[in-house]
Structure 1
Amino acid sequence: MIIRDFVETDWPAVEAIVAQVVAAGDTFPYDPAWPAKVLREVWVEAPPGRTVVAMDGDQVLGTAKMGPNRPGPGRYVSTASFMVAADARGRGVGRALAEDALAWARTQGYAAMQFNAVAESNEVAVRLYRRLGFAVIGTVPESFAHPQRGRVGLHVMHRFL
Structure 2
Amino acid sequence: MQFPVQARLKDGTPVVITQATEADVPAFQALYGLIVQEGWSYPHQRPLTREETYAYWFEGKTTIGAFLDETEANTELLGGFYLKPNWPGRARFVANAGFMVAPHWRRKGLGWLLGALMLRHARDMGYRGVIFNLVFSQNHIARALWEKLGFVTVGVIPQAIVNDDGTCQDAIMMYRSLIADPGCP
**TM-score normalised per structure 1:** 0.92
What's the counterpart of residue 51 of structure 1? Answer: 63
Pick aligned residue for 1:159 from 166, 176, 179: 176
Point out the structure with the larger helix share: 1
| Number of matched pairs | 159
Higher relative contact order (CA 8 A, sep 6+): 1
- Higher alpha-carbon deviation: 32-41 or 106-115: 32-41
- Deviation by residue 1:72-113 (Cα, 9 ceiling, x = unmatched): 111010111101111111111111111111111100111111
What's the counterpart of residue 132 of structure 1? Answer: 149
Residues 34 and 16 of structure 1: is their aligned pair in 2 closer, same or farther, counting only changes over 3 Å? Answer: closer
Residue type of the partner of 1:100? L
Contact 1:45 1:65 in 2 (8 A): no
Residues 17 and 34 of structure 1: is their aligned pair in 2 closer, same or farther, counting only changes over 3 Å? Answer: closer
What's the counterpart of residue 13 of structure 1? Answer: 27
For residues 107 and 34 of structure 1, what CA distance do their matches in structure 2 show? 31
Larger Rg: 2
Q: Where in structure 2 are there 5+ consecutive unaligned residues?
A: 1-14, 179-185
Pick aligned residue for 1:40 from 44, 49, 54: 54
Pairing of 1:1-150 with structure 2 (within 5 A): 1-32=15-46, 34-46=48-60, 49-57=61-69, 58=74, 59-147=76-164, 150=167
Q: Where in structure 1 are there 5+ consecutive unaligned residues?
A: none
Computed over aligned residues only, the root mean square deviation of the Cα atoms, in angstroms, reads 1.5
**TM-score normalised per structure 2:** 0.81
* Dislocated runs of 4+, deviation >2 Å: 33-36, 146-149
For residues 81 and 118 of structure 2, what CA distance do their matches in structure 1 show? 8
For residues 166 and 176 of structure 2, what CA distance do their matches in structure 1 show? 28
Contact 1:25 1:32 in 2 (8 A): no
Residue type of the partner of 1:81? G
Residues 33 and 20 of structure 1: is their aligned pair in 2 closer, same or farther, counting only changes over 3 Å? Answer: closer
Contact 2:41 2:136 in 1 (8 A): yes
